[in-house]
Amino acid sequence: MSDKEYYLTKERARKLEADIFTICDEALKWSRADETEIVIVAQDEALTRFANSQIHQNNFERNATVTVRAAYGKRVAKASGNLLTKEGVRKVMDDACAIARLSPADEDFAGLPQGEFTYPFKVEYFEDTASLSPISRAKALLDVFKLGGDSYNAAGVLANSAITFVVANSHGIRVGCNTSSTKFTVLYTGETSSGYAEDFKRNFSDLDILGSAQRALNKAEASKNPYKDLPFGQYTVVLEEECVATMMMFLSWLGFSAKSYQDKESFMYGKLGEKITGDCITIIDDASDERTLGLPFDAEGVPKKRIVLIENGVAKGYAHNWKTAKKDGVESTGHHLGMDFPLPLNLVLFGGTASDGELISSTERGILVSRFHYTNVVDPKETVITGMTRDGTFLIEDGKITKGLTNFRFTQNILKALENCVGMSRSQRLASSFFGGGAVVPKIKVEKFNFSGKTEF
């Protein structure tokens, strides 16, 4: 932008954070509630969206969310707004106090967090990423469009953002951070096939835009003229990272929250310490693993702890916020998201020993799945999900990828799939899940994976 004063340089981001702390300090003095918490997220986000190998939606947004939680004894309410001024924060605080006074008690409310916290890691802020111009994004995409030539249309996004996140409460918690993020996704679509790739980083210069684009194009080219006559049924599959990340996020929603455990709705309820899936499966949540792009504290200002969720197939633990932790008589793990449902969102599935190639070469007959689409829950307690394959489904014969396939519907119990896991790649990467979130995961090889239907494309 020609108006260079507008973007959040590192210095301006620091000043914004300091100003927000000052606003919070003053606002907390005004509060009439017994306990008060202010959470502020200020964000600039620019997103260049492209389809048919041209930019069709090109956006910039400057927004903020100011959320105040006010408590009178156990009577608790929240209000939020987006006016990032003293007056704006005060208005939100007045709203929260007013409705909290009218509300009945939340008997599970355990007060707001208090204590001396140490935050185990810091996150970086990349000024060049925060202030990336629309022209820079457009220029980076020109080669992506060119790569597809006349045969493959490119669609996807190139985005960058700057985030300032501050938590302050009436018990003295004051914590904040500035960070940046960037993402690139691309789908090449040809006459009979498509291929997808994605990359997420904090620093724009770490994105491998052309490398990702080439991987997506290779998929699209390799899967063209797909074979249509392979019947659905049970197959050995090699699932790539986007599929595995989707399975991890569904496990998180269905069972890794203390709230779902306490309400007896978690698939892990009553099974802690028991074997619930395959020996090779260890899932942790670790925001300090830089690959997860995690933040050092949650929306209550509590440090994020590393938690072991499943270890060698055994159910081990789940994520807490302050309220669920007090109910269980333990410490919060720092997984409050602002709603009454703590959730681990920095998941890591441990990798195995195989190279990517060995997962294929060790498969006599199977199917390689690149990506799931529109996955949803069929049975929450049994962890059964259904969804479609898309953007590159391939037949494996005698240890080699022999042809592209039309897409399948799967209906599959996640824990059973992980129980039937017979191989995992050494390599891991952060991959996204269709309904949001993501996880750092390897590719995995699963036997008896259930395809329940198919399409003609």
Partner 1 sequence: MKELTDAFKNIAERLKLTYADIRITEAQTEAITIKNENLEELVKTSQAGFGVRVLHKGCWGFASSREISATEVERITRLAVEISESSALAKREDVVLVPEPSHIDNWKNEVKEDPFAVSLEEKIKLLLEANKALNVAGVTNRLSFYNAFREYQTFANTEGSFITQEIVECGAGIQAVAIKNGELQERSFPNSFRGQFHTAGFEVVREFDLVGNAPRIAEEAVQLLSAVECPDTVTTLILDGNQLGLQIHESIGHPIELDRVLGYEAAYAGMSFITLEKRGKFRYGSEIMHIVADATLPRGLGSFGYDDDGVPAQRVDIIKDGIFLNYLTNRETAHIIGNTRSNGTNRADGWNRIPIIRMTNINLEPREGTLAELIADTKEGVFMSTNRSWSIDDRRLNFQFGCEIAWEIKDGRLGRMLKNPTYTGITPEFWGSMDRICGAEEWRIWGTPNCGKGQPSQTAHVGHGCAPARFRNVRVGIKG
Binding residues among 172-211 for partner 1 as defined by CB under 8 A: 185-187, 189, 196
How far is the C-alpha of 86 from the C-alpha of 89, rounded, in Å? 5
Pick the stretch among 46-54, 164-172, 278-286, 344-352 that binds partner 1 (CB under 8 A). Answer: 46-54
149 near partner 1, judged by CB under 8 A: no
Residue 382 CA to residue 288 CA, distance in Å, equals 31
Q: Does 365 bind partner 1 (CB under 8 A)?
A: no
Q: Is 4 in the site for partner 1 (CB under 8 A)?
A: no
How far is 255 from 386, CA to CA, in rounded Å? Answer: 17
> Which range, of 104-112, 221-229, 276-284, 301-309, touches partner 1 by CB under 8 A?
104-112
Instruction: Kindly state whether residue 63 participates in binding partner 1, applying the rule CB under 8 A.
Output: yes
Q: How far is the CB of 424 from partner 1 (least distance, A)?
A: 22
Which residue in 23, 28, 33, 76 binds partner 1 (CB under 8 A)?
76
30 belongs to the binding site for partner 1 (CB under 8 A): no
Question: Site map for partner 1, 381-420, x if CB under 8 A?
Answer: xx-xxxxx-x----------------x-x-xxx-------
Candidates 431, 374, 356; CA nearest to 196 is: 431
3-class secondary structure per residue, 247-299:
HHHHHHHHHCEHHHHHCCCCCCCCCCCCECCCCCCCEEECCCCHHHCCCCECC
CB of 267: closest distance to partner 1 in angstroms? 8
> Of 96-104, 245-253, 273-281, 292-300, which segment contacts partner 1 by CB under 8 A?
96-104
Give per-residue burial for 367-376: e unless 16+ CB within 10 Å, then b. Answer: bbbbbbeebe
Q: Which of residues 201-260 bind partner 1 (CB under 8 A)?
A: none
- Tokens (6 digits) for 80: 């939020």
In this chain, which stretch among 82-90, 235-243, 289-297, 422-430 interacts with partner 1, using CB under 8 A?
82-90
CA separation (Å) from 272 to 311, 313, 350? 11, 11, 20
Contact letters (x/-) for partner 1, 324-363, by CB under 8 A? ---------------xx-----------------------
Sole window of 243-251, 293-301, 345-353, 373-381 interacting with partner 1 (rule: CB under 8 A):
373-381
Number of chain positions touching partner 1 (CB under 8 A): 98
